[in-house]
C-alpha cells in the first residue's frame, strides 16, 4: 500500500483543519517545500497536496508554493483544491505534478470530468468527500444529496482510476478512521481507493492493507507525532499490493 503524507496549504503555510472547519486551523510549517523534504528524509515517495484557499475560491491561490514542491526530485505528487477547468489541469501537470484531483468540479460539472478523464487518463483522480454518506463540495462547505458510494461506482464506470475518499467527520480528529466504509469501497472492482481522514493508529494501516486498499493519506497524526511516518511507510510496504 502507498502512503501519502498530506500537505494542506492556506496562505502559503502548511496547516491542518478539524473536520474541514476553516475556523479551526493549526499552522505546522511556513514552507510546504521544506516540509516535503522532511517527509522525503523519512522515506516518503508520495505527497498529497491540497490548496485549501483554492478549494474555497476556485482559483489556484497557492500555485507558486506548489511549484516549489513539484520541483523536488523523486516525489510522486497529487494536487487538489480549486481545479475546475482544463487550464488549471494543464497548469499543474506542466509543473510536473503527477496527478490532479477534481472534487467540486466532478459533482458540479460532470461532463467536464468525463472530458478530463478521456484526455488525461490516470493523471485525473477524484476526491470524494463525504458527510453522513453524502458528497460534500466547495471546500466541504456544501453537502449534496449524492450518495458517496454510488458516486464512486459511477466514477469507475466512467473511466476514473483513482478516488480519494474522505469521511469529513473523522478528518483531523485523531480518533481513528472509518474502516467500515473502506471495507465497502474495497469491493468496487477496478477502482483504486485512497483512504483519507482520521488515520491515527498503525493498526488501521494494517487493516487497510488487508482490505487491498491502494493508498492511505496521513495528516494530523504525523504532524502531532502520534504516528511515526517512517514506521507507517514500512508497515504499508509490508502490505504492498501485487
| Residue 228 is among the residues annotated as catalytic for this protein | no
The contacts of residue 157 (CB under 8 Å, 6+ apart) are none
Structure confidence at residue 242 (pLDDT):
41
Structure confidence at residue 173 (pLDDT):
54
Q: What nine digits make up the cell of 42? A: 523519512
pLDDT digits (tens, 9 = 90+) for 48-76: 999 999 888 888 899 999 999 999 998 99
HSE-CB at 172 with a 13 A cutoff on CA atoms is 16
Q: Is the pTM of this model over 0.75?
A: yes
8, 51, 171, 192: which is the annotated catalytic residue? 8
Regions of the chain with pLDDT less than 50:
240-242
Structure confidence at residue 104 (pLDDT):
83
Q: What nine digits make up the cell of 43? A: 522515506
Nearest-CA neighbor of 215 among 68, 54, 44?
44
Structure confidence at residue 48 (pLDDT):
98
Structure confidence at residue 136 (pLDDT):
84
Domains for the chain: give ranges and CATH numbers.
2-238 (3.20.20.70)
Rounded Cα gap, residues 43 and 167, in angstroms:
26
**Kindly report the CA angle at 57 between 56 and 62, in degrees rounded to 5?**
95
| Residue 8 is among the residues annotated as catalytic for this protein | yes
53, 129, 167, 192: which is the annotated catalytic residue? 129
Structure confidence at residue 239 (pLDDT):
54
Amino acid at each position: 500500500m502507498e502512503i501519502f503524507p498530506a500537505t494542506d496549504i492556506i496562505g502559503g503555510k502548511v496547516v491542518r483543519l478539524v473536520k474541514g472547519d476553516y475556523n479551526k486551523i493549526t499552522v505546522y510549517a511556513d514552507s510546504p517545500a521544506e516540509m516535503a523534504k522532511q517527509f522525503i528524509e523519512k522515506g516518503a515517495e508520495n505527497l498529497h497536496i491540497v490548496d485549501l484557499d483554492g478549494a474555497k475560491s476556485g482559483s489556484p491561490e497557492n500555485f507558486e508554493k506548489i511549484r516549489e514542491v513539484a520541483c523536488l526530485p523523486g516525489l510522486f505528487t497529487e494536487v487538489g483544491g480549486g481545479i475546475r477547468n482544463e487550464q488549471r489541469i494543464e497548469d499543474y501537470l506542466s509543473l510536473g505534478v503527477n496527478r490532479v484531483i477534481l472534487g467540486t468540479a466532478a459533482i458540479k460539472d460532470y461532463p467536464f470530468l468525463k472530458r478530463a478523464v478521456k484526455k488525461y487518463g490516470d493523471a485525473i483522480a477524484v476526491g470524494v468527500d463525504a458527510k453522513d454518506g453524502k458528497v460534500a463540495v466547495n471546500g466541504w462547505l456544501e453537502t449534496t444529496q449524492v450518495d458517496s458510494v454510488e458516486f464512486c461506482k459511477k466514477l469507475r464506470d466512467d473511466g476514473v482510476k483513482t478516488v480519494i475518499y474522505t469521511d469529513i467527520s473523522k478528518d483531523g480528529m485523531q480518533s481513528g478512521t472509518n474502516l467500515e466504509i473502506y471495507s465497502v469501497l474495497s469491493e468496487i472492482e477496478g477502482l483504486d481507493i485512497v483512504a483519507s481522514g482520521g488515520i491515527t493508529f498503525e493498526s488501521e494501516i494494517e487493516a487497510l492493507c488487508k482490505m487491498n486498499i491502494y493508498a492511505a493519506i496521513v495528516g494530523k497524526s504525523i504532524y502531532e507525532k502520534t504516528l511515526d511516518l517512517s514506521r507507517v511507510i514500512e508497515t504499508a510496504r509490508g502490505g504492498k499490493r501485487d
